[in-house]
């Protein structure tokens, strides 16, 4: 049976979005997702995202298969794309021909509560086209990340690790998914394709890890390159940008409100001092729609 899809991107981090509201399970398998994400023989994407029915008083549920078929807990750029996709779906339904009594008073929502593997995430579609996401509170204990770089109940801040024959100083943060952050003098000089996989598969990270390389331009402005667990080099990573700012604050290099420049563009990240919650603001854009035939 043909499956309709839409392709969206958030700063070049691109995804295939599928309306899965009729079922609580994804309509395609991880193996099929790998084929669809192939940039030469498929549609091409960093992952496939499913909009499933909400649970536990949420509006929707998000699941995602990476381009290698693995399933991460959450994806920051992906959830902005999902929010835009949902809004577009709802808008098309509102504007479809309906009996007068059905269409009266209909209006598009601007805020969604989305159930994810990392907990409930709240997205807000702003009037300027940006999507603001309440990413929740970062988790800092080694057991929460998880990593063996410190005792389970200790934080991993400026801890040495040997990867690719070199000693790196890293700070680890969980945004519902694991992140390892290291600060470098020049992000363009990092051989991501070589170093990234070795970080991801290091024995220090039992569930593998995303790795962010950060160059501080100013305390409120940093450059970042990322190796994503299950996807490799990507143009942007929302959860990674959040984790990077948290790490920057912890080591005294970043302000709580910091712009993160990625190869695909800029994300605005704020780590609220009172609530401890992380807010991410950035774009999400539809590229095209199509139909998958099996």
Residues assigned a catalytic role? 75, 237
Residue 129 contacts residue 283 (beta carbons within 8 Å): yes
Residue 210 tokens, joined = 């995303």
DSSP string, 113-126: EEEETTEEEEEEE-
Mind giving me the DSSP string for 158-173? SEEEEETTEEEEEEEE
Find the helix or strand (DSSP H, E) in which 286 lies: strand 285-292
Task: Determine the distance from the C-alpha atom of residue 218 to the mean position of all C-alpha atoms in its chain, rounded to a whole number.
Answer: 24
Please tell me what DSSP assigns to residue 69: S
Distance CA(110)–CA(84), nearest Å, equals 9
Q: Are 269 and 240 in contact (CB under 8 A)?
A: no
Q: Could you tell me which of 58, 56, 60 has the C-alpha nearest to residue 84?
A: 60
What's the chain's length in residues?
294
Taking the C-alpha atoms of residue 282 and residue 114, their distance in angstroms, rounded to an integer, is 17
């Amino acid at each position: 049976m043909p499956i309709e899809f839409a392709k969206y991107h958030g700063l070049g981090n691109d995804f295939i979005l599928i309306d899965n509201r009729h079922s609580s399970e994804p309509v395609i398998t991880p193996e099929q997702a790998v084929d669809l994400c192939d940039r030469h023989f498929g549609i091409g994407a960093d992952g496939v995202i499913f909009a499933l029915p909400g649970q536990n008083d949420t509006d929707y549920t998000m699941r995602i298969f990476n381009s290698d078929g693995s399933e991460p807990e959450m994806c920051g750029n992906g959830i902005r794309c999902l929010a835009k996709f949902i809004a577009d779906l709802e808008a098309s339904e509102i504007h479809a021909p309906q009996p007068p009594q059905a269409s009266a008073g209909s209006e598009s929502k601007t805020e969604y509560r989305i159930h994810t593997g990392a907990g409930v995430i709240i997205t807000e579609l702003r009037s300027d086209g940006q999507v603001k996401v309440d990413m929740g509170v970062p988790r800092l204990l080694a057991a929460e990340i998880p990593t063996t770089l410190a005792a389970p109940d200790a934080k991993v801040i400026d801890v040495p690790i040997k990867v690719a024959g070199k000693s790196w100083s890293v700070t680890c943060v969980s945004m519902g998914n694991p992140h390892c952050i290291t600060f470098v003098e020049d992000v363009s000089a990092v051989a991501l394709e070589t170093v990234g996989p070795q970080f991801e598969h290091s024995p220090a990270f039992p569930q593998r890890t995303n790795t962010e390389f950060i160059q501080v331009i100013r305390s409120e402005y940093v450059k970042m390159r990322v190796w994503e667990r299950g996807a490799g080099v990507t143009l942007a990573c929302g959860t990674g940008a959040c984790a990077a700012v948290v790490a920057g604050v912890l080591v005294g290099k970043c302000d709580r409100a910091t712009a993160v420049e990625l190869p695909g563009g800029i994300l605005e990240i704020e780590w609220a001092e009172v609530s401890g919650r992380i807010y991410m603001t950035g774009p999400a854009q539809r590229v095209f729609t199509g139909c998958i035939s099996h």
